[in-house]
Structure 1
Amino acid sequence: MKRKVALLIQHKAALFATALCLALPTAWVYGQEKKPALPLEDPEVKMGREAHEEMIKSGLKLVSDPALVKRVETIGQKLAALANQTPIPALYGTENKLTRPLNYRFFIVDDPDTNAFALPGGFVYVNKGLLKYTQSDDELAGVMGHEIIHAAHSHGAKLQREQSKLNTQMAVAALGAILAKVPMQDTGNLLTGFQLLAIQKVNGYGQTAEKDADQGGIILAQKAGFNPVGMLTFMERLARDQRSHPDVEMGIFRTHPPEKVRAVAMIAQISQMGLPINRRSTASILKVTTRVDGSMTEVLLDGKLFLRTVKPERAKEIATALDKALDQELQVYDVRKQGSAIQIRGEHLVTLETGDGTLAPDKLADDACKMLRLSLYRYVLNGTL
């Protein structure tokens, strides 16, 4: 029995020594002074290119629709140019190296899921489902800026290095347990514990990387001429949908901070940047439009009738006034009715007239007021956190 244990220890030690040799340059192992060959390709670009090629071989389907490709490419190249020219502070990884600009490449994945991801070296992927989910170029630019920061700050390469360190620590711990003659069952428990610890640590690094990508993506979008509020409205909508369809709690296996936490951080960052937060400018929220219906011109709010009039110019004036008022982040109680007139925060908005409908002006004003309040209530309930 003792001989078997000794042989097992020798075998494990040999494997561990072999692993160390494989991890060291050949010159270190054999004492030779060989000069390493100059790299022909940036290591991160090589890593990303090889991963991209493997995904294509594995059946990853890309979208070639010219209109979609042009939209993604146009937004992506605007962001990429700024990423290669402007230093953006890094919370994780390394600040984008302006002396080594990346040749960013953008791809649309034929997948209905709302997702985007990036590989090291500037390979950025946007799912077709995400293009449908975003409600403006500003929202799409925020998401793509987030992914560009992952590549610019070398998040993937750093996460790989951290994972390698943890794997080495696990190997050392396993060898130590064997040499210390820890029972095999206890050794298995020890390895399980180290694996869970490794997952927790790497996910912790991943969450920090996500925070960095959120912060850097907002800066990048703003510098490229997009409204960074788009990233906020996108994230708030994700948080809302998470409430409607909550996922199973993953605990230490969660790789992203919760959407609500990320959205709150975005509000703070945009405010610190001195920028206004007008959600209507980047998302399909409380949209005011006009429509001609026979002899009447209708003013619509989110596609629902607010009022109608026989005077097209009057409809246009009312729509403009309502649109301006809604930019003030109104609450339900800000809307008041006085006779046949509607007021917003004490300011006159519109007075309903005979001919605006088949009902009396006072009743028309009552219906319009209720409709506006209901739209604001839905916005507060579903549109923001």
Structure 2
Amino acid sequence: MMRKLVLLVVALLFVSCAKTYDPLSGREVFTILPTSEEIKIGKMYVPLAIDENDGRYPDKEVQQYIKQLGEKIAEHTPRKLDYQFYLVNTQAVNAFALPGGFIFVNRGLVLSLDKEDELAGVIAHELAHVNARHHARFLEKVYGMNILLSIAGIFAYQTKYGDILMNFGKIGAQLISLKWSRDQEREADRLGVRFAYDAGYDPRGLLDTFKIFKKMEKVKQPEWLLTHPLPETRIKEVKALIKKLDLNKPLIKDSPNFHRIKNKLEKTKPSFDLYYKAKEKLAKKKKLAALELLNKALEIYPENNAALTLKAFILLSEDKFKEGTQLAVKAAQLDELYFKPHFFAGYGYFKLKKYRKSIDYLERAKELIPNFPDVYYFLGRDYEAIGKLSLAAKNYEKALKLTDGKRGWEKDAQRRLRKILGY
């Protein structure tokens, strides 16, 4: 009996696996998570990653530079995916990737580097994690097939969300801050050095980046080192890898483009520094001081979408709905993937009794991050206000299912839901 049970389990596992081609080894392999589903999951978490890192840097030229640099390196990777590259506003010195080929470079990282080959080395390293399927393997190991397909189903709007939304934020937080093992880092180093070199960049740029991080570590450890440990043995292994390459051929060390982009970031850095000081003041409940700092930040850089969003939040919390909503709308227009300003705009329009405009922004916010309970509550209020009671009821139900019970609107949502359903 036990033998039959074991055989059944093995058979089920085999059926649940998909056969795919491993471009690194050239062999056929079986995987629980097919590439198509891996991409869907990665894409699902892009807005969460953007929101957690204060939005995308609001300059098309900067974004285009990161995109072109990333694509140039990605051309030399064996996994042929539709890679996407983003520069996000956070000052943290870091870069990271999501499953399926979504690569994030932090503003703080670019500001800490001196040459283009250093940035190329970091991007190549993140591409290596994707090509080695490190994120996908983490998901396969920690979560079962059902939950992974449910996440992908949320993105494809093929499920009714179900209980998977309860785990959405937890999974996203893990993906954004994955800590790699020594073997995974060794593999990513090996591949990353190769990718950068094949793309024409001096692979020693990665070693120069390591040196910069080591110097910074004496003051404050860069966030990249928290997720990418850097023992001396790893540095020695990278040096050994590079020694095997022909370093006499023409290799790109730097470019005017890198310095033009970095100069743009340096000019707007004072604005973002003021934004982070404002966040600190707000955490201490000093709203007036925070507003003064944000006003200075926006004088320096009017398109600072992180500052616009935080100022909108403060104004809305002070019942200044018209001005707060206008700022949120501007921030949302600067970054269509940034959740917070979309939610704030929706909330502001609700307070202004412009329910259809509120619905537009809240529905978009729901698409971006589908597990935020307040979005559903205010959508319920909007739909109820325009007489669409069945939609109102569905949103109240979802809000009550997702809430932690500390939002302040739970009793009102329950009362309104009972009235709609007639009990």
Scaled to the shorter chain, the TM-score interval is: 0.3 to 0.5
User: So what's the TM-score if we normalise by structure 1?
Assistant: 0.44
Q: Higher strand proportion, which one?
A: 1
Q: Higher helix proportion, which one?
A: 2
Q: If you compute each CA radius of gyration, which structure gives the higher value, 1 or 2?
A: 1
